[in-house]
């Protein structure tokens, strides 16, 4: 059985105010070529199809057009799509009956139901056990587990259930999908606090599940064989979703034959590169001052790229300086994506109002906390003008909550 594995498309993302429509279309063209060349039996998309739970009409149209386009390439191609944490499970799943006509299985959520006996299966397993057929014969199964349901238990239960089905036999391949963070996966480009801790599982939780030929994961955007395990992979996002994802993006082609799994990483081309200008310094000392960076700016303005500017600074940039920088990008190919300032290292113990315990944290008002974060980040007190504005915002927020 041949599988193409991808995930984390994030259709509809607005990147620093810029639409990524062209980039997604560029990726779709490449994926289409991969499908034509590799002739897979099934394409699996392991979650985060859209960037938001309420994608725009434009985003939805692009997604529908592309999937229909793909399914028309080859009558035998099956497509399995699961929801990720960014997707709305019910929205993704709503057109399920229509998708079936195109050989596309969309799983937004698991349908649970009450059971009298706790040993009984409390969800509809047949909904997420997708048979993959070739010339009328079932050659394998995709266990299409959407976001948040990925605990080891569910895969064990699914396998157990699958083996009771009359259509099942030992020669069929099994691919398991999941949208979750596996501990000890490389999380380049991710803030561990954002990934969340609840849904993290250890790699052993999966290797203990016997009988899965390939694990097709989504959620971590850095493509990898998890801890070097060839048949357990994150496909990674097809395009950089943040400045930290400035690495080679790809999809995976998986071949399962006679109980052996071989995975090949297929690199993708980037339409619009991400540039840290003049470079990404490690510290204040490595950064260049604002004036120098402004003079060098013309080196990059011609290039169609997302540009994040890095400057050395004694104190936060003035609004005027920031405005001048933005102005320099106007009418150019390069797209301005913010300025990162690097301040001199502070000596230990400089933080006057450091919070050490949770109780101390809770005792502080949002306004006080905001001020101390500002001070910590910028090495100076928040200017009075900004304090006034911030105070108003805090008061407004308090009224709402």
**Residues forming the site for Mn ion (CB under 5 A):** 8, 48
Cα–Cα distance measured from residue 124 to residue 113, given in angstroms and rounded to the nearest whole number: 8
Rounded to the nearest whole angstrom, what is the least distance from the CB of residue 220 to Mn ion in the complex? Answer: 8
> Least distance (Å) from Mn ion to the CB of residue 12?
13
**Residue found under tokens 């990726």:** 27
Q: Which is nearer to Mn ion, 141 or 234 (CB)?
A: 234
Q: How far is the CB of 48 from Mn ion (least distance, A)?
A: 4
Provide the minimum distance between the beta carbon of 86 and Mn ion in the complex, in angstroms, as a whole number: 6
Taking CA atoms, 236 is separated from 21, 23, 219, in Å, by: 19, 16, 8
Smaller CB separation from Mn ion, 187 or 256: 187
Task: Name the residue nearer to Mn ion (CB basis): 8 or 129.
Answer: 8
Picking from 329, 320, 370, 380, the residue whose alpha carbon sits closest to that of residue 350 is 380
Q: d(Cα 54, Cα 237) in Å, to the nearest integer? A: 20
In the bound state with Mn ion, the residue whose beta carbon lies nearer, of 226 and 371, is 226
- Of the two residues 3 and 220, which places its CB atom closer to Mn ion in the complex? 220
Query: Would you say 8 and 238 are in contact if contact means Cβ atoms under 8 Å apart?
Result: yes
Report, in Å, the least distance between residue 84 CB and Mn ion.
6
Rounded to whole angstroms, the Cα distance separating 119 from 305 reads: 56
Two structure tokens written together for 10: 């994030």
How near is the Cβ of 348 to Mn ion at its closest, in Å? 37
* Torsion over CA: 123, 127, 133, 137 (sign): positive
Smallest distance, Mn ion to C-beta of residue 177, A: 14
Whether the ω angle into residue 192 lies within 30 degrees of 0, i.e. cis, is: no
Give whichever of 83 and 105 is closer to Mn ion, judged by the CB atom.
83
The structure tokens listed for 213 are 């030929």
Rounded-to-integer distance, Cα 309 and Cα 299, Å: 12
Comparing CB distances to Mn ion, the nearer of 87 and 129 is 87
CB of 221 to Mn ion, least distance (A): 6
Task: Pull the structure tokens for residue 91.
Answer: 């929205």
- Looking at the Cβ atoms of 8 and 93, the one nearer to Mn ion is 8
Rg (CA), the chain: 25
**Measured distance CA(24)–CA(29) in Å, rounded:** 9
Closer CB to Mn ion, residue 189 or residue 316?
189
**Helix or strand run (H / E) with residue 63:** helix 57-73
Q: Toward Mn ion, which CB reaches closer, 13 or 78? A: 13
For tokens 């998986």, the residue is 254
Provide the residue count of the chain. 401
Tell me how far, at minimum, the Cβ of 34 lies from Mn ion, in Å.
20
CB neighbour list of residue 142: distance below 8 Å, 6 or more residues apart: 42, 44, 80, 105, 129, 130, 132, 175, 176, 177
Q: Helices (H) and strands (E) in the chain — how many of each?
A: 14, 17
User: What is the rounded distance in angstroms from the CA atom of residue 168 to the CA atom of residue 188?
Assistant: 39
Q: How far is Cα 171 from Cα 50, in angstroms, rounded to an integer?
A: 35
Instruction: Kindly state the smallest distance separating residue 368's Cβ from Mn ion, in Å.
Output: 34
Nearer to Mn ion, 40 or 218 (CB): 218
As measured in angstroms, the least distance from the Cβ of 146 to Mn ion is 13
What's the CA gap between 329 and 323, in Å, rounded?
10
Residue nearest to Mn ion (CB): 48
């Amino acid at each position: 059985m041949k599988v193409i594995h991808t995930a984390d498309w994030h259709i509809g993302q607005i990147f620093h105010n810029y639409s990524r429509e062209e980039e997604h279309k560029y990726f779709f063209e490449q994926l289409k070529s991969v499908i034509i060349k590799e002739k897979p039996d099934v394409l699996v998309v392991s979650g985060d199809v859209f960037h938001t739970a309420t994608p725009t009409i434009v985003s939805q149209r692009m997604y529908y057009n592309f999937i229909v386009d793909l399914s028309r390439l080859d009558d035998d191609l099956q497509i399995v799509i699961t929801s990720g944490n960014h997707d709305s499970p019910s929205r993704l799943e709503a057109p399920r009956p229509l998708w079936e006509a195109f050989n596309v299985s969309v799983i937004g959520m698991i349908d649970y139901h009450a059971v009298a006996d706790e040993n009984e299966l409390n969800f509809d397993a047949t909904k997420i056990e997708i048979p993959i057929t070739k010339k009328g014969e079932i050659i394998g199964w995709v266990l299409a587990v959407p976001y948040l349901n990925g605990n080891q238990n569910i895969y064990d239960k699914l396998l157990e259930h699958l083996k009771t089905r009359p259509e099942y036999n030992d020669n069929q391949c099994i691919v398991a999908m999941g949208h979750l963070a596996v501990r000890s996966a490389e999380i380049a480009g991710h803030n561990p606090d954002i990934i969340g801790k609840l849904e993290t599982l250890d790699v052993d939780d999966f290797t203990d599940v016997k009988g899965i030929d390939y694990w097709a994961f989504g959620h971590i955007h850095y493509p990898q064989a998890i801890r070097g395990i060839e048949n357990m992979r994150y496909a990674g996002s097809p395009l950089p979703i943040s400045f930290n994802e400035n690495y080679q993006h790809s999809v995976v082609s998986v071949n399962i034959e006679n109980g052996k799994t071989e995975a090949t990483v297929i690199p993708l081309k980037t339409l619009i590169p991400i540039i840290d200008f003049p470079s990404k310094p490690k510290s204040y000392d490595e950064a260049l001052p604002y004036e120098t960076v402004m003079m060098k700016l013309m080196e990059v303005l011609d290039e169609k790229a997302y540009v994040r500017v890095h400057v050395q600074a004694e104190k936060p940039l003035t609004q005027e300086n920031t405005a001048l920088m933005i102005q320099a990008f106007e009418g150019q190919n390069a797209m301005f994506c913010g300025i990162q300032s690097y301040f001199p290292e502070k000596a230990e113990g400089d933080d006057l109002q450091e919070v050490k315990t949770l109780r101390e944290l809770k005792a502080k008002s949002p306004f006080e906390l905001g001020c101390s974060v500002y001070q910590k980040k910028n090495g100076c007190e928040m200017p009075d003008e900004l304090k006034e504005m911030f105070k108003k915002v805090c008061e407004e927020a308090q009224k709402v909550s």
